[in-house]
Amino acid sequence: MDKKVLSVEGKEIRTIELSDDVFGRDVSDDTIYYAVRNELANRRVGTASTKTRSEVVGSHKKPWRQKGTGRARSGTRQSPVWVGGGIAFGPRPRDYSYTIPRKQKRAAIKSLLSMKNRDDVLRIVEDFAVDSGKTRDFVKVMQNVSGGDRVVLVLKDDDPMVKRAASNVPWIKFMSYNRLSAHELLYCRELVLMESAALSLNDFFARAGNGE
């Protein structure tokens, strides 16, 4: 398929050819769900913790004698049934991360790229640099090529000057073409690809499809 390329002024200057397998395939909701769920699970810190009855500080003396008081028998104030006692079956530190098949993750990314292209929120802009590293210069370019609301910018390389200029812009997320996040792609309102990144995505997924 052909896709128009925008200049940094927001004008159409040429067209490039994109792979139908990457940007024009049927959208798989299932693979998108599993990829996003996996990313969110891998982000969890897993430090939630509660004290068991053996960890609660206090006297372990029996509150009252076993029989003859008319009250229920009790052996320790650290019992989970007492206020201030331990927690039974509470959360403990754990690792929530897990892996999904590589093919499934790639299928999810391709489905998301195709979905954004289908919804006409995919933009391709010519390669540009922000030599000054200033935020205002970067924002001016992005406002020319996008609506300026929850935008994801995909770079071909880790350009430190672009990242520096975009680091304090709250409505822009940026990532490299070979490290795309399914969660960010799903929830962005506009997806902007640098021209070289779009061409690299064609080649990257073509190699992936051949098992490389």
Residues 25 and 112 in one domain: yes
Residues 133 and 53 in one domain: no
Residues 148 and 181 in one domain: yes
Task: Estimate to the nearest angstrom the gap between the alpha carbon of 181 and the chain centroid.
Answer: 5
In this predicted structure, which of 71-75, 107-111, 115-119, 143-147 has the lowest mean pLDDT?
Answer: 143-147
Mean pLDDT of the chain: 90
Residues 112 and 56 in one domain: no
The candidate with the shortest Cα–Cα distance to 146, out of 160, 167, 166, is 166
Residues 38 and 117 in one domain: yes
Residues 29 and 114 in one domain: yes
Residues 68 and 121 in one domain: no
- Single-letter residue type at 174: F
Q: What is the pTM of this model?
A: 0.83
∠ CA 150-153-159, rounded to 5°: 135
How many domains is the chain partitioned into structurally? 2
Q: Please state at what angle helix 102-118 crosses helix 29-43, rounded to 10 degrees.
A: 120
Show the domain range for 88: 45-95
Q: What is the pLDDT of residues 82-111, one digit of tens each?
A: 999 999 999 999 999 999 999 999 999 999
The two three-digit tokens of residue 72, written as one number:
């229920």
Which has more pLDDT, 133 or 190? 190
